[in-house]
Amino acid sequence: MSETTLPSPAAAAAPPITGASILLDTVTKRYPGQGKPAVNGLTLEIPAGKIVMFVGPSGCGKTTTLKMINRLIEPTEGRIVLDGDDVTRIDGDALRRRIGYVIQAGGLFPHMSVAANIAIVPKMLGWSKERIAARVDELLELVSLDPDRYRDRFPRELSGGQQQRVGVARALAADPPVLLMDEPFGAVDPITRQRLQDELLNIQSELQKTIVCVTHDFDEAVKLGDWIAIFNEGAQLVQYDTPERILAEPANEFVENFIGSGAGLKQLTLTRVDEVEVADAVVARPGDLATDVLSRMDAVGHNHSVIVDARNRPLQWLSRRQLGRLERVGAARDPRLPVVGNRATLNDALDTMLVSSVGAALVTGPRDTFRGVIDVDTVMDAIGRAHRHARTAHAQGRPVGVNTGTLEAVQASGAPGVPAAGLAGPERTGE
């Protein structure tokens, strides 16, 4: 089965894609006793090794669509194709052992230890005891839980975030190519949620699974998704595109409403500080003569100077006026220095610079070494550029996503190359 052919994730610098592509082929689900289908003729392509986020209003059929992928809900019509194989008719339990499944709050079995929870699928697949034990420890490490400490605990002895991590570990146990998640971080507090999201991205950059994730939270979709599928009632696909393009070019008013206010601000979470150009600064060291520093500032026309320590870590950020009062630069460290890391989002950077007195922030790289200065203009530039880029980008390799029989949805998200803008169809919300 799947575990035999997978290369070790540590083998190469650029990790190989271990995920499988998924195709929902004109899939329909009618629940008994309901007039309208919950999912109506949906064709959706999910590329291998990518994270696809499902968003949409409550009851629009996200969970139903997700559960049809592992046939926890059997489609009424249509085919499910996994990595080229039609899996619509094969044994459902065997299929589900090849697909990881994570639900809200982890869904851990309270009567089993953490290790036993993780070991369930490998056991069903007939792995040896030693192999299972080694795998459990490996997975606990992967989700940042110390195996010795947590292996023998029971779920109720874990925090919500830890339970969720074990849930992810359990889903990854047999190294499935596909991971399905239904509002996985819905039950944890915002700070834990953010941490878990970051961790999922880290894990994904290592494993390159195909992840399909349902969420209520559009910001989460923007943060995690390579592609976002926005659904309306009856799993009508309204737009299926990259977060950048959805933010820059919402297909219609429904999507605009869904994005909510501040689409521009949301774009800030898409760009990291190390992706924009930072400005140089006049750098000085403790013990330098203040007049020397001032004359260097005059030469380049700067009003501030950054003081760094022997290891190049920023200590102070002095204005002309502050320097004018000194004879020599001091070695004290200013605790309120506005500093952002390389990997921070522009959102974080903007936040930091808005509260700093200078209206800008210092950027640090590996080991907290000083890299440069980022200011509001840099951020505005980056937004403008991202916006233009998203508009002109020829959505290359865009996966297919359509509902049969609804021209509007086809136009809004289908045929590559057809600009989606201006197609706000008849189905407007709130009118």
Partner 1 sequence: MTDFLVDRIDSILFSSWQHFSLVVQCLLLAAVAAVVLATLVYRSPTLSALVNGISAIGLTIPAFALIGLLIAPLGFGVGPAVIVVAFFAALPILRNAVVGLTGIDQSLVEAARGIGMGRVRTLVRIELPLAWPVILTGIRVSAQMVMGIAAITAYALGPGLGGLIFSGLSRLGGANSFESVATGVVCVILLALVLDLLLVGLGRLTTPRGIRV
Ligand X SMILES: Nc1ncnc2c1ncn2[C@@H]1O[C@H](COP(=O)(O)OP(=O)(O)OP(=O)(O)O)[C@@H](O)[C@H]1O
Three-state SS for 243-311 is HHHHHHCCCCHHHHHHHCCCHHHHHHHHCEHHHCCCECCEEECCCCEHHHHHHHHHHHCCCEEEEECCC
Q: By CB under 5 A, which span of 18-26, 59-67, 68-76, 115-123 interacts with Mg ion?
A: 59-67
Q: By CB under 6 A, which span of 61-69, 184-192, 278-286, 321-329 interacts with ligand X?
A: 61-69
Q: Is 38 in the site for ligand X (CB under 6 A)?
A: yes
- d(CA 244, CA 266) in angstroms, rounded, equals 9
Residue 45's closest CA among 229, 236, 204, 205? 229
For the window 61-80, what string marks contact with Mg ion as x by the rule CB under 5 A?
--x-----------------
Nearer to ligand X, 102 or 329 (CB): 102
Pick from 1, 31, 157, 389 the residue near ligand X by CB under 6 A.
31
Nearer to ligand X, 63 or 364 (CB): 63
**Adjacent-strand bridge partners of 193:** none
Q: By CB under 6 A, which span of 59-67, 87-95, 287-295, 375-383 interacts with ligand X?
A: 59-67
For the window 14-53, what string marks contact with Mg ion as x by the rule CB under 5 A?
----------------------------------------
From residue 169, how far is each of 59, 174, 226, 262 by CA, in Å?
A: 29, 10, 22, 35
**Angle of helix 376-392 versus helix 346-355 axis, rounded to 10:** 160
Pick from 27, 44, 121, 200 the residue near partner 1 by CB under 8 A.
121
Q: Is 64 in the site for ligand X (CB under 6 A)?
A: yes
> Under rule CB under 8 A, which residues in 60-119 are in contact with partner 1?
70, 72, 93-98, 100-101, 103-105, 107-113
Q: Is 74 in the site for ligand X (CB under 6 A)?
A: no
Residue 163's closest CA among 104, 106, 101, 100? 106
Q: Is 31 in the site for partner 1 (CB under 8 A)?
A: no
Nearer to ligand X, 56 or 100 (CB): 56
**Adjacent-strand bridge partners of 37:** none
Tell me which amino acid residue 212 is. Answer: V
Tell me which amino acid residue 396 is. Answer: Q
Pick from 1, 124, 279, 407 the residue near partner 1 by CB under 8 A.
124
Q: How far is the CB of 315 from partner 1 (least distance, A)?
A: 51
Quickly list H helices, 79-207: 92-97, 114-124, 129-142, 147-150, 160-172, 190-207
- d(CA 263, CA 159) in angstroms, rounded, equals 34
Q: How far is the CB of 138 from partner 1 (least distance, A)?
A: 18
Q: Is 75 in the site for ligand X (CB under 6 A)?
A: no
Nearer to partner 1, 185 or 218 (CB): 185
Q: How far is the CB of 371 from partner 1 (least distance, A)?
A: 45
Work out what residue 154 binds among partner 1, Mg ion, ligand X, none; the CB cut-off runs from 5 to 8 Å by kind.
partner 1
- d(CA 323, CA 297) in angstroms, rounded, equals 11
Residue 240's closest CA among 397, 401, 395, 403? 401
Tokens of 301: 């026309």
Q: By CB under 6 A, which span of 55-63, 140-148, 186-194, 403-411 interacts with ligand X?
A: 55-63
Work out what residue 156 binds among ligand X, partner 1, Mg ion, none; the CB cut-off runs from 5 to 8 Å by kind.
partner 1
Residue 256's closest CA among 421, 104, 376? 421
From residue 158, how far is each of 113, 115, 154 by CA, in Å?
A: 11, 13, 7
Residue 46's closest CA among 235, 247, 209? 209
Nearer to Mg ion, 63 or 113 (CB): 63
Residues that bind ligand X (CB under 6 A): 31, 34, 38, 56, 58-64
Residues that bind partner 1 (CB under 8 A): 70, 72, 93-98, 100-101, 103-105, 107-113, 120-121, 124, 154-156, 170-171, 180
Residues that bind Mg ion (CB under 5 A): 63
